[in-house]
Structure 1
Amino acid sequence: MSEDLRDEVEALNSIYGEGCLVPSEDQDESPASSSTTYILQLPGDEASSLRLQFPDTYPAEPPAVLGTQHSSGGRRGAGARDLGVFREALGTVFQPGSVCLFDAVEEFVRRMEEEREKEELLQQQEGDDAEDGEGANADRGERAVDGGQTDFAAMTPPPWTLSEVVVENKSTFVAHVARVTSPAEAKLFLQHLLWSDRRIRSATHNITAWRIRGPGGTSYSDCDDDGEDAAGGRLLHLLQLMEVWDAMVVVTRWYGGVKLGPRRFALINSVARDGLVRAGLGDGGGKEKEKKKGK
């Protein structure tokens, strides 16, 4: 063992703890051997240990990383990951004639911290996406139709007015609008729509809202997000802004696999507004009317 290697072994064990760098038990101690094999325990609670072979000419030549002595217990593939990262770190810091093991270990630690930060960021983004709910219903299949004892085949189809179909980043949006006189009729119309069209029954979201005047000055309103967070409330708010009564709107979205973020709410409201205007239930100027009232 060269004096440089001996000093480096002592330094690493003093910094990272005894046992960080120890001779291999199957060391070849024959006079003909031109190398020395050590076991390097990488820093970290679940880090792997590696087999390193130091040539007698070290540090003029770099040590060879033979493989893993013991793989990390953290997760599958961690040993191969640690081995690859350390080899890259060693290749980055080695300079002929200078000891490199401490620098290689520090570079390994730095790279692993970067990977950990990336994983945490990805998990956070995935968590945000899950909380956001966009695309959450993409694989749920067809909805069940709840029509009670209703014979949909004998029923007169609801007088739906369709909006323009809007496609953006593989997602498709369309609105169905109908005049209704009671919450029961609104629910029946929705179930008939699901029964009559398999594509709508299998859509990612069918977002609904209705606003109905009742007798004696009573009124009824309701909405359903159908998995598209807060979208139903936005539709109901649109009906209020446009001063629409005795009507319902169903906005269907087929999710295409590309998240649209907040943009999807603008598209949902856009097709809903278009359907309401086509049905003669508003002129699209609800916001302007409300602004004038507030002056």
Structure 2
Amino acid sequence: MSEELRDEIEAINSIYGDGCLVPSSDDNVYILKPPGESSSLRIQFPTAYPEEPPTVIGTNSTGEHGRKGDAARELSLFCQALGNVYQPGTVCLFDAIEELGRLLETLAPEPQDEPDPAPSAHEEDSADDVTPHELSMKEPPWVMSDPFVELRSTFVARCAAVSSTAEAEAYLQHLLASDKKVRTATHNMTAWRIKGPNNTTFQDCNDDGETAAGGRLLHLMQLMDLWNVMVVVTRWYGGHKLGPRRFALINQAARDSFVKAGLVTEPSSSSKKKGSGK
């Protein structure tokens, strides 16, 4: 740990309270709990910090009282704040936390004199926390994989180019709002890696109930050195447990979408993958 980072940790905890910035079980990874927010963020500091920027590697928890979608929103805003304030050679967490507060104040809704109108039948059928903007936005530039089928479970991946965590989250919400078949699938596992301003980098993943699947997707993207792209792998459960085999199918579907999008040069399979059922 550099002297600059040690001093910064002490200063952050002195200003915002003990436990605001604490080490995790992973090397060089710290858990940041921004004051007043419901989510904790995982931040990795390179050995050359502050000459090199820290990396936001996802959320750590959403808190017991956080609303659905809060974690993704706070992650996106903190990534934006970090990109706004980081300068090579200068510690940045205090400025990033303050910038996050400014962004939250800017985006706070204006008080309303009248209650919101009741949602229409179409809105009630949409995914939770989906806004009219997400329903009306232009279709994201998804590139789909072939379906991979084994023991009646079906896996389909979609990837798309993204330039910010906010865009990635908006694409996911649009997909869930506009495609009922995807919205009602058993799992929608996601991962993304994004390069931001001032050499900042952001990456995150979500298992959506398929334990460890999001992390494996993110690891695949790291191995393939993919940036400014997101992937969503949808699984419809077929009634038969696949065990560890499911992770291979998830990664195969993701890889196939990357190939079809021209992000890698490896050949893709032209036929569906079907198991023997034994």
What is the TM-score when the length of structure 2 is the normalising length?
Answer: 0.50
Relative to its length, the structure with more helix (as a share) is: 1
Structure whose CA Rg is larger: 1
